[in-house]
Structure 1
Amino acid sequence: MKFRKLTIENYKSFQFPTTISFPDSSAGKSIFLIGGMNGAGKTSVMEAVNICLYGAKQDFIFKYINRKELAKGNAYASFELVIETEELEEIQVKRTWTAGTVDSPKPKDLEEKLVVIKDGKRVSVQNKDMWQDYINAMIPKSITQFFFFDGEKIQEIAADDHSEVRLKSSLEAALGIQYISRLSNDVLHLKQDERKNFVEISDEDIDFKESELKREKAKLSKKQQQKDEVQSELNQFKTEYEDAKSRFLAAFNAEPESADETKQRERKKIQLASKKGQLDNQIKSIIDKHLPWALAGKLFEPLKEQIDKERSALASKAISSQAIQLAQDIVSAVDKPEPIYSSPLNGDQRKELEKRVLSVLKEEQSDSTNTFLNMSDRDIAKVLNKMEEIEQSEILSLKDFLSERNEMDQELNLLDGASLGSSSDTEKQLFDELQQQMESCQNQIGRLTVKLQNLSEEVLNIENRIKDIELELGKLYDKHNMSKEKVDFIKECDAIANLLNTFTIRLRKNKIHILQEKTFEMYKLLSSKSGLIKDLEIDEKTYEIMIRDRNGHEMKKSGLSAGEKEIFAVSLLWGLAQTSQLNLPIIIDTPLSRLDSIHRDNIVNNYFPNAAGQVIILSTDTEIDNNYFKTLETHLSGAGKLEFSQMKELTTFKEGYFWS
């Protein structure tokens, strides 16, 4: 597998689309050299490969979007990697993040999009997880740290005596053991799932269920017999009721009352009797309170007239007794306060006027009235109030109340004996007997109907229970036949798991042996003190590396110099790449920064040309300098340079290394 092209856009200092092409190499030319000063974007290139292949979190992408473009509101980043597979297929993976047209975008606004193009044809990526699995199978993420690494990764492995133990899971993945272990765990998981659903069925279980079915069928037979008996009894009472009803219709030429009609008639009688009692109390109250006075009701109008006449007579007498004084006052009023004539009246005129006024006053009172009541004003007021109270009372409605009471009596009489009219005592006795017989039949019919319904429900429940038992029994028969198959399957799972475990142990032992040889082989080529270490061993369980000196004594990695540690780490990485048998490109970022000249020479001469089928080196001008460049020139498939403009804060890529 080889990388053919990498495009970065709007990530860190790569503001505009920047494409790095990796040309096909002829025999012996496997190295592509990318130069760049510190801060020019070398690390970004290796990050871009990982991001394009495996994605990244929104917060991470948003943090490293080119800040100039982000300031413009362009929350966008794009990565594209073109890969050539072992089968010479071209796969283009493009992964982008964009916030669209959102104002003031935030990390959560970024939406990831994955596009895969295979041999020039776009492949549907509706199921992103499926294509991510495809990429992971092609370039496993768990082992890329052994193919895409920088000086820091080398230092991490070289850091202490037990750093490789912390990398156990990654080492297992690189050696191909992780998948075998996962397969073994999956087989055991299948076994556990089978155990959860597995119940071994015995003959006793089937016998018990068959006995239960037999009991339920016997219970069903008994309930059905009870149901038939109740149905027969119910039919008998229905026949008796119809016979009594026919006799009633023949005897009285009318339909008999139903129980509900009889209850309704009795209820109406009670209501009428109650209403009649209330009316009787109302009539009695009116009689007690107003009847004695109401007997004199015809005298009320003449009495009122006499009272009015006697009042008028008394007023006339009062005027007559004051007639002379009134006449004088009236004449005086003619001149006072001012005369109403052109000149005041003289004495004779005043006397004549008084005489005439007096004559008028006496004439008004000449009508004589026969007074015999001779009541005071107080007594008159009492009499008038009493008459008004009687007139406004309910005494005048007494006749209507009595008429209503008679109607109630008639209605009660109709309810008591209207159905028989003037029948004889014999007919009334027959009426009561037939009515009682029909009522008794109706009560029995109601009781038996309820009992029949309950029995029907019980029969239905038992029938459903029998169906359930028959279904369970069928399943037991099937499980009884399957039990042996289940046992065999579980045994096979155990056998497969044991076989895989045995295979894993042997595979690990074989892989670790190869890893030991490959690592030591490269170490001898790279070390300036290759004679110092005679052999190395890797523990088959913990992956802890034991180094032995030329005398066979165990020595710790911490006893090596800093340069030797890093050389040992590079050797281990190369050994893992070789042991994994994955033909992946190797990307190395600034690998020589901490090495002395001898170790650098060995790395340049022995490691870089042999590291992999495609090696991409990211270096400063002081690591791969002019001399090293000339040394590697025969192995170079191409070279380029990352140039960073401080003024524009922009990284661009140009063909050719620092001196080419």
Structure 2
Amino acid sequence: MHLHNIELHDFGAYRGRQSLDLSVQPGRPIILIGGLNGCGKTTLLDAIQLVLYGPRARCSGRGSRSYDSYLRESINRKANPAEGAEITLEFSIIVDGQERHYRVVRSWHLNGKQLKEQLSVLVDGQFDRILSDGWPDHVEDILPLEVASLFFFDGEKIESLADPERAAAVIESAVHSLLGVSTVEQLRTDLLALQRRQRLSNEDQAVIDQINAQEADHEAAKQDVFDRTQMLASTRSRCDRIQVHLDKVEKSFERAGGKLFERQKELEGDRAAIADRLAAQRHTLRSLAQGPLPLLMLPQQLATLRDQAAREKEADDATRVVGVLEERDAWLLDQLPASVTPAARTALKKKLTTDRIRRESAAELKQSLELPTDMLQQLSALNEALSRDASRARELLKESAATVDHLDDADRLLAGVPDKKLIKDLVDERNEAMDELAVAKAELRRGEEQLEEARSRRDRIGADLERAQQKRVKTLIEMEELNRIVAYADKARETLEKFGAALLRRHISRLEVAVLQSFKALMRKSGLIHDLRIDTDKFNLTLADSDGEPIDPGRLSAGERQLLAISLLWGLAKVAGNRLPSVIDTPLGRLDSRHRQHLADRYFPNAGRQVLLLSTDEEIDENLLGRLKPSLAHTYTLVHDDTTFTTTVEAGYWWTAGVPHVA
């Protein structure tokens, strides 16, 4: 919890609007507020408690008066009672990893004789009606009242802790409320109450209890829907931020060649496939080259061979018929009829003789290769094969040329793939962003599902409640179920009792170490106290010297007992994790100068992440102010006007030289 600002309007001695900036920085946790006695230091402490807890606030000026009377008398005497008074406190807390900013405004005024009080709560700048109406319960989740009393303390609190007998009650309360032991006890009490409710046998009372439970469940379900809606909006916003970051990383990744790096295996596979295709094409070309295809390089020789085959075929044909031509010719002449003239007979004979001579000449070749008689058919088949292979070869050459171009392109792409060492950081950042986005989206989906489930549950409970209220159906609760609940509640209570005892021992052990370390850091006599023990039953504080002998607290001076009380509060804060602001009022009353210096040097700068220190000019004097200077975030002085009996807040401390208002 971190306080940011408090504004008092006509509250107590504070006239008009008085505002204090309470924000701090790392290494500068202290807001120093100075004021003389009666100027309103304790009133400021009361204001913080009043705005948070209202009628339950443990204000020092209230005494035994009623809350109504206290508020009436807290309106500044110079203010108009009809306008009343107002306290505004701004603070932030971490909820589910997200910082939530709260602004709590509590105001009251007189309307005739009646006192009207209003409380409004704004979360992240938006008014929240549900929180405003249920603030007393919600503030207990943020800062329980019992815990607040251990961090908002004045000189009276320290005086009470300085008494060992009275300190036991404070230690017991602190351990139970601040360190979670009371939660275990409350669980045991709740289980006991559950058992008693289960033993109720009155049927009508059971129905009434059921309706009451359904009403409570319905309110819880509505709150659950609201909370999940807020969480979903936060998750969706986080997804958007991560997506923007991922887009930036993606652009850097792409500019560095990341896309090629991602596709390296794919590119290598593509290149291998292209190389295999080129090898297959070349293999096919070689296979074609092993056939008749090379004969295309001898076109003239093939033509000569074709002519020679034709002549040899003609000679062969002539050789076959020339022997029977004389007999055929004589037979033809004999067949001529008698009517044919001698001249015609002579002309025919001459023609037959000329044909026979020509055939005899054809049968006589100058050169014969003795080619097969079907050589012409073979050459025709060869010509068809060569034409077909030539066409296939041209296609393969064209395809292989294109494949070579593709292979060059693949090589160029692979050459553009960046080295893994050069792109490793970008790859890791990109993967991390993608993983984070995936987780956020999964959380978003779960949130949407859970919101839908919560809405369904709200509607279902509402419908059940409406039916129960309308019909008021009476049902009997089976004893077996009741007995089972009672039995398991007994077991759970036994387990919680053991757990609570173990938790108490553990916290007491840690607290002993923290208080002893704190006490040694503050004490002027460093060797006085060697050991410190806290009884787990009565919570009594026992001190021991270096020999292990107990030390009577009465041997300690009043200042040393006061330091012991401060050490106890400091130790509690350490064990609780210093997660809450500390408000310390008039802490140096009975301390000598050396102890005051120890507090200024060792305690105040380390009492917590935020420390509001209320002091007079004699407690934090000029010397201690100089020691605190490196740890100061803001300084204020409460100035009281004795004529009007009003207080105003001014920046700076009494000795302002070298001590800025905002460090």
Kindly provide the amino acid, as one letter, of the partner of residue 120 in structure 1.
G
SS at match of 2:25: coil
SS at match of 1:532: coil
* Offset from partner CA, 1:521-548 (integer Å, 9 cap, x none): 1000001123111111111121111111
Give the structure 1 partner of residue 8 of structure 2.
8
TM-superposed CA distance for 1:53, in Å, is 0.4
Give the structure 1 partner of residue 79 of structure 2.
69
Kindly provide the amino acid, as one letter, of the partner of residue 117 in structure 2.
E
Superposed counterparts of 1:609-648, under 5 Å:
609-648=605-644
Q: Which moved more, 1:546-555 or 1:137-146?
A: 546-555
SS at match of 1:598: helix
* Offset from partner CA, 1:580-636 (integer Å, 9 cap, x none): 336110010111122111110111111011110101101112211111111111111
- 1:608–1:481 distance in 2 versus 1, CA, 3 Å: closer
- 1:123–1:555 distance in 2 versus 1, CA, 3 Å: same
8 Å Cα contact 1:24/1:637 also seen in 2:
yes
Give the structure 2 partner of residue 563 of structure 1.
559
Q: Which moved more, 1:583-592 or 1:617-626?
A: 617-626
Kindly provide the amino acid, as one letter, of the partner of residue 10 in structure 2.
N
Asked if 1:113 corresponds to 2:123, the answer is no
Give the structure 1 partner of residue 177 of structure 2.
173
Alpha-carbon distance in structure 1 between the residues aligned to 2:480 and 2:110: 61
Superposed counterparts of 1:504-523, under 5 Å:
504-523=500-519
Kindly provide the amino acid, as one letter, of the partner of residue 102 in structure 2.
Q
Give the structure 2 partner of residue 599 of structure 1.
595
Give the structure 1 partner of residue 335 of structure 2.
none
RMSD: 2.7
Give the structure 2 partner of residue 89 of structure 1.
99
TM-superposed CA distance for 1:561, in Å, is 0.7
Asked if 1:60 corresponds to 2:70, the answer is yes
8 Å Cα contact 2:107/2:119 also seen in 1:
no
- 1:193–1:85 distance in 2 versus 1, CA, 3 Å: closer
8 Å Cα contact 2:640/2:647 also seen in 1:
yes
8 Å Cα contact 2:195/2:486 also seen in 1:
yes
8 Å Cα contact 2:4/2:90 also seen in 1:
no
Kindly provide the amino acid, as one letter, of the partner of residue 17 in structure 1.
R
Q: Which moved more, 1:645-654 or 1:503-512?
A: 645-654
- 1:13–1:165 distance in 2 versus 1, CA, 3 Å: closer
SS at match of 2:78: helix
| Residue in structure 1 matching 2:137, options 133, 136, 141 | 133
Alpha-carbon distance in structure 2 between the residues aligned to 1:658 and 1:600: 18
Give the structure 2 partner of residue 277 of structure 1.
none
Give the structure 2 partner of residue 524 of structure 1.
520
TM-superposed CA distance for 1:193, in Å, is 1.8
Alpha-carbon distance in structure 2 between the residues aligned to 1:480 and 1:651: 66
SS at match of 2:134: helix
Give the structure 1 partner of residue 547 of structure 2.
551
TM-superposed CA distance for 1:517, in Å, is 0.6
- 1:582–1:588 distance in 2 versus 1, CA, 3 Å: same
* Offset from partner CA, 1:180-213 (integer Å, 9 cap, x none): 10011101211222233499xxxxxxxxxxxxxx
| Residue in structure 2 matching 1:495, options 488, 491, 499 | 491
| Residue in structure 1 matching 2:532, options 524, 530, 536 | 536
Alpha-carbon distance in structure 2 between the residues aligned to 1:496 and 1:529: 49
- 1:128–1:76 distance in 2 versus 1, CA, 3 Å: closer
Segments of 5+ residues of structure 2 without an aligned counterpart are: 56-66, 204-473, 657-663
Alpha-carbon distance in structure 2 between the residues aligned to 1:68 and 1:24: 30
8 Å Cα contact 2:100/2:123 also seen in 1:
yes
Superposed counterparts of 1:143-162, under 5 Å:
143-162=147-166
Give the structure 2 partner of residue 30 of structure 1.
29
- 1:74–1:606 distance in 2 versus 1, CA, 3 Å: closer
- 1:71–1:5 distance in 2 versus 1, CA, 3 Å: closer
- 1:65–1:524 distance in 2 versus 1, CA, 3 Å: same
8 Å Cα contact 1:75/1:110 also seen in 2:
no
Asked if 1:194 corresponds to 2:163, the answer is no
Segments of 5+ residues of structure 1 without an aligned counterpart are: 103-107, 200-477
TM-superposed CA distance for 1:552, in Å, is 1.4
8 Å Cα contact 2:104/2:120 also seen in 1:
yes
8 Å Cα contact 2:121/2:132 also seen in 1:
no
Alpha-carbon distance in structure 2 between the residues aligned to 1:137 and 1:654: 34
| Residue in structure 1 matching 2:189, options 165, 185, 188 | 185
Kindly provide the amino acid, as one letter, of the partner of residue 13 in structure 1.
A
Structure with greater Cα Rg: 1
Alpha-carbon distance in structure 2 between the residues aligned to 1:116 and 1:609: 31
- 1:74–1:586 distance in 2 versus 1, CA, 3 Å: closer
Superposed counterparts of 1:423-442, under 5 Å:
none
Alpha-carbon distance in structure 2 between the residues aligned to 1:93 and 1:52: 10
Kindly provide the amino acid, as one letter, of the partner of residue 92 in structure 1.
Y
Alpha-carbon distance in structure 1 between the residues aligned to 2:52 and 2:543: 37
TM-superposed CA distance for 1:94, in Å, is 3.3
Kindly provide the amino acid, as one letter, of the partner of residue 583 in structure 1.
R
- 1:112–1:91 distance in 2 versus 1, CA, 3 Å: farther
Kindly provide the amino acid, as one letter, of the partner of residue 148 in structure 1.
F
SS at match of 1:584: coil
8 Å Cα contact 1:639/1:655 also seen in 2:
yes
SS at match of 1:111: strand
Asked if 1:49 corresponds to 2:48, the answer is yes
Q: Percent identity?
A: 32
- 1:550–1:196 distance in 2 versus 1, CA, 3 Å: same
- 1:502–1:520 distance in 2 versus 1, CA, 3 Å: same
Give the structure 1 partner of residue 461 of structure 2.
none
TM-superposed CA distance for 1:504, in Å, is 0.3
Asked if 1:658 corresponds to 2:654, the answer is yes
8 Å Cα contact 2:120/2:132 also seen in 1:
no
TM-superposed CA distance for 1:84, in Å, is 7.6
Alpha-carbon distance in structure 1 between the residues aligned to 2:572 and 2:544: 20
8 Å Cα contact 1:5/1:83 also seen in 2:
no
- 1:86–1:611 distance in 2 versus 1, CA, 3 Å: farther
Alpha-carbon distance in structure 1 between the residues aligned to 2:80 and 2:590: 37
TM-superposed CA distance for 1:551, in Å, is 2.2
Alpha-carbon distance in structure 2 between the residues aligned to 1:645 and 1:602: 34
* Offset from partner CA, 1:227-258 (integer Å, 9 cap, x none): xxxxxxxxxxxxxxxxxxxxxxxxxxxxxxxx
Give the structure 2 partner of residue 397 of structure 1.
none
8 Å Cα contact 1:97/1:110 also seen in 2:
no
8 Å Cα contact 1:77/1:98 also seen in 2:
no
SS at match of 2:533: strand
Asked if 1:98 corresponds to 2:97, the answer is no
* Offset from partner CA, 1:488-525 (integer Å, 9 cap, x none): 32221111111111110000000000110100010000
SS at match of 2:79: helix
Give the structure 1 partner of residue 402 of structure 2.
none
Q: Which moved more, 1:185-194 or 1:495-504?
A: 185-194
TM-superposed CA distance for 1:80, in Å, is 6.6
TM-superposed CA distance for 1:487, in Å, is 2.8
Alpha-carbon distance in structure 1 between the residues aligned to 2:574 and 2:39: 32
Alpha-carbon distance in structure 1 between the residues aligned to 2:578 and 2:601: 23
Alpha-carbon distance in structure 2 between the residues aligned to 1:157 and 1:73: 40
SS at match of 1:618: strand
8 Å Cα contact 2:75/2:81 also seen in 1:
no
Kindly provide the amino acid, as one letter, of the partner of residue 113 in structure 1.
Q
Alpha-carbon distance in structure 1 between the residues aligned to 2:137 and 2:477: 40
TM-superposed CA distance for 1:559, in Å, is 2.3
